[in-house]
Amino acid sequence: MREIIFDTETTGFDPQTGDRMVEIGCVEMIDRIETGETFHRYYNPERPMPKSAEEIHGLSDIFLSDKKLFADGADELLEFLGEANLVAHNAQFDFNFLNAELERCGRKAISQFRMIDTLAIAKVKHPGAKLSLDALCSRYGIDRSHRVKHGALLDAELLTQLYIELTGGRQIGLGLAEDKPEKTATAPVSRRKNLENREFIAPRPHVATEEELERHAAFLKDIKDPLWARI
């Protein structure tokens, strides 16, 4: 199963009021194993960066001024995402911005059915606890010492580790590690070949033999005052 863990950085909180996505970082996983494939882009938001947002992620107007527009890079992003489920922390926020950018350049919005929200998972596992990415990384012992400011790819990499912990830990994927697929398309083919070469054992008959029935009848006959005889 292919999944994309992703994060975005933006100019604010609401794409409906003109805020834009300025960075996206994606990490590919197949069968809960990171493949090493990532996608990372900055985008020119075509509007000034508010100081409050710049203080969070450090992306200034000058830095973003020579970056391509989202519309010019939409196809390469969609190609990387493919049909995979998309995992994010507080995922509705990231989906809103991603879909707003896609709709702005005439692309089809990504279905909410593909959304997996690690914040919702964490709320179930740790009710009442602090559930920010930082707090959850501390809870699960995930090293974030190199995280000075928010960054889409860095946060996606941290979230990848957190997602694995929230959904059962590394032990679930241990059996798959030896067969780590290099590309998405090759994984199902490998499994099908294994099934074709597998030797299947004929089902064991479950009807009692005459000898077994006789032994059972003799056993019941020796029981003194059985409960079923009182009915």
Rounded Cα gap, residues 152 and 159, in angstroms: 10
Please write the tens of the pLDDT for every residue from 27-57: 999 999 999 999 999 999 999 999 999 999 9
Does 184 or 101 have the greater pLDDT score? 101
Min mean pLDDT across 14-28, 80-94, 112-126, 196-210 is at 196-210
Catalytic residues: 150
Lateral strand order in the sheet of 2-10: 33-42, 21-30, 2-10, 85-88, 115-117
Which amino acid is residue 149, in one-letter code?
Answer: K
40 is in an annotated binding site: no
CATH topology of domain 2-182: Nucleotidyltransferase; domain 5 (3.30.420)
Rounded Cα gap, residues 222 and 231, in angstroms: 19
Mean pLDDT, rounded, for 198-220: 70
- Quick one: DSSP state of residue 205? P
Per-residue pLDDT at 165: 94
7 is in an annotated binding site: yes
Per-residue pLDDT at 185: 39
Find tokens 């929200």 and name the residue. Answer: 117
Per-residue pLDDT at 45: 96
pLDDT band at 149; cut points 50, 70, 90: low
Proportion of the chain above pLDDT 90, given as a percent = 66
Q: Coil, strand, or helix at residue 110?
A: coil
Does 113 or 192 have the greater pLDDT score? 113
Res 231 pLDDT > 50: yes
